[in-house]
Structures are given as structure tokens and as C-alpha cells.
Amino acid sequence: MKIGKVSETILKRSIFKQIRTKRDEVLLGAGVGEDCAAVKLEPGEVFVISTDPITGTVKDIGTLAVQVTVNDLASSGAEPIGIMLTVLLPEEITEEDIKKMMEQIEEACAKSNVQVMGGHTEVTRAVNQPVISVTGVGKAREERLISTAGAKAGQDILVTKWIGIEGTSIIAKEKEKELKTRFSVDFVETAKDFEQYLSVLPEASVAAEFGISAMHDVTEGGIYGALWELAEASDVGLEIDLKAIPIRQETVEICEYFGLNPYYLISSGCMLMAGDRGHDLVRELKKAGIPAAVIGKAVEGKARRILNGEEEAFLERPRTDELYRIYE
């Protein structure tokens, strides 16, 4: 395609035609020449805004772009309303590629009842693969807003589902052919299908109703990165039982094969929480069909300890996600 803004014809035919999910709150949405979106809130509601780029993969990039942003909004106790997209495309992109990407985006939006409210699509020499940057807009009752900084000493630390599921799914798709020379077809297909677990909207809803103090979606940097960020934001220490952190066998074996540390692997779909009566919340989540586990405690002070039986280590500052190592 030619460098510059995507043509109006392609915009209408392969982008706008795919946008079908609508929200009553959106007064002004995507359209030719529209530079802004407008959203109406009810009294007592507040805007919650999040932004994220998708750069680590091109497979299912549309799905991930929506899901990661919707998860961030949910971690604040917000109901997602809409997204704004900035899509940067390489010259070799085809209109069919763009249409497929938008179909993925719309399918993910429909599942979460989220509207594409607008954005910008451009072909540029600045990228060699598609890059999508998403700004998400949600709403929450002001009194029910939840932050990463809400953890208090003495509270339980919980996670939902399993760590590393997003990274495992991405690796299984990106390296499918290679993995099938080492593992069974069923094993690889199961790992690819971990994408079905990426939404954290259900657990966020249960936790918000329960009265959770803090939530943080476990994304780039993995569970260790998310634990550090929660502790840093809340100014607490941590005592985490390594053996209590839930992880799928597929993640363990794929990480071993590529020499990756699963605790630093991107983990959308796994929600980190802090609150009182953690074991009661685990039971409530399981009633909703969501696996969860208490993995430790928030404590006074700054020490962030990882306990593995008799061994003890200290949490380090977040580092580059392990996912990027498969491209080296």
C-alpha cells in the first residue's frame, strides 16, 4: 500500500463496515473526518482510561489489542465502553490483512460489549509489522473505583487462573511448527487455545462485588513484574509462596524448551488481587467457574520475599518480558 493515511474507500469498505457493536453512552463515534469521540456519563460515574500497544506478535493482534485494554479497565472495577485505535501498518500490508484485523477487533469488542469509537490508520515506513495502540474508555461508580495502590499490610494476595497463559498461547502460535517437532499436536493446540482464558472481566466483577482492595492485570513482565508494581504502588512488602502460584504444565514445558522464566512471561488473563478474607473470595470465584489461589500476604516494610520451601529470594524490579527472547 502507499505510504500515508489509509484511503477513504478502504476506510469505509474494510474498517468502518466491520464496526457493528454500539453503546448508548457513545454520542460521537468513528466516521470519516471525525477526530474525536464523545461519551456521556450518568451522575456519580467517572471516566476510567487506559492505553496499551500491541507489538510482541502479529498473529491475532486485533483480538489481543482489545482484550489487553479491556482487562486494564476491568482491573480498576470499571465497565469498558469503547476504544480508540491507532494502527500503524507496513507498506506490504494488503486490504485483506486490514479487513481481517478489523474483524478480529470487532469480534473481541462484541464479546465485551465495547464500541470502536474512532482512531487513525496509517501505512508508514516506521514499522516492519503491524502495530496497534489502543486507548480504552470505561466508566465506574466513583465510590467503587479500584486501584493497584490499594493493598494494605496483612491482606491476602491472590491470583486468578494461571500465570503465563497469554505468553504460552502467543509462543504456541508463533512457533507452532517447531513445537510440533517436540510435543504432540494435542499439546500444542491446547497451548494455542489458552487465548480463551484472556478475559478478566468475570473475575473483576466478582472481586469488585466482594469488596477487593486492589487489582492489577498481570501483563508484560509476568507475575513477578505485577507483584513488584502492586507492592511499589501500595508501599507494602510481600511474602509470596512460589509453590502456591498456579501454572499450567503446558507453560512449564514450553518455557523449559525455549529456556524462558515463566514468572517473567506476559500473563493477560491472570488477575492479581489484594484484599481481606482471600480464601472466601477464592470460594466465590470458584462458584463463578474461575480458578483462583491465595499465594501470599502483603506485609509491613519494603521486603518483597519469594519463599520456596526452605529457600528464600527477593523480588527484583520488573525486567524485559521473556516473550521477546523467542525472536532473538
* 136 plus 171 within the same structural domain: no
Q: What is the 3-state secondary structure (H, E, C) of 282-299?
A: HHHHHHCCCCEEEEEEEE
pLDDT of residue 33: 83
* 69 plus 184 within the same structural domain: no
CA atoms of 98 and 10, how far apart (whole Å): 9
* 103 plus 174 within the same structural domain: no
* 15 plus 160 within the same structural domain: no
- CATH number, position 227: 3.90.650.10
Could you tell me how many helices (H) and strands (E) the chain has, helices first? 10, 14
Could you tell me how many residues make up the chain?
A: 328
- CATH number, position 101: 3.30.1330.10
* 216 plus 273 within the same structural domain: yes
pLDDT of residue 55: 83
- Per-residue pLDDT of the chain (328 residues), as tens digits, is 889 888 899 989 999 999 999 999 999 998 888 888 999 999 999 999 999 998 877 788 999 999 999 999 999 999 999 999 999 999 999 999 999 999 999 999 999 999 999 999 999 999 999 999 999 999 999 988 999 999 999 999 999 999 999 999 999 999 999 999 999 999 999 999 999 999 999 999 999 999 999 999 999 999 999 999 999 999 999 999 999 999 999 999 999 999 999 999 999 999 999 999 999 999 999 999 999 999 999 999 999 999 999 999 999 998 999 999 998 7
Contact criterion met (CB below 8 Å) for 159 and 245: yes
Domain boundary among 84, 111, 144: 144
* 157 plus 120 within the same structural domain: no
Domain boundary among 90, 119, 144: 144
* 44 plus 190 within the same structural domain: no
pLDDT of residue 12: 92
* 196 plus 104 within the same structural domain: no
CA atoms of 203 and 181, how far apart (whole Å): 36
Domain count, the chain: 2
pLDDT of residue 2: 85
pLDDT tens digits along 245-292: 999 999 999 999 999 999 999 999 999 999 999 999 999 999 999 999
pLDDT of residue 257: 97
* 314 plus 183 within the same structural domain: yes
pLDDT of residue 262: 98
Domain assignment of residue 181, given as a range: 148-327
Domain boundary among 144, 168, 203: 144
pLDDT of residue 274: 98
For the chain, state the CA radius of gyration: 20
* 66 plus 54 within the same structural domain: yes
Contact criterion met (CB below 8 Å) for 9 and 104: no
pLDDT of residue 176: 96
* 134 plus 227 within the same structural domain: no
* 189 plus 76 within the same structural domain: no
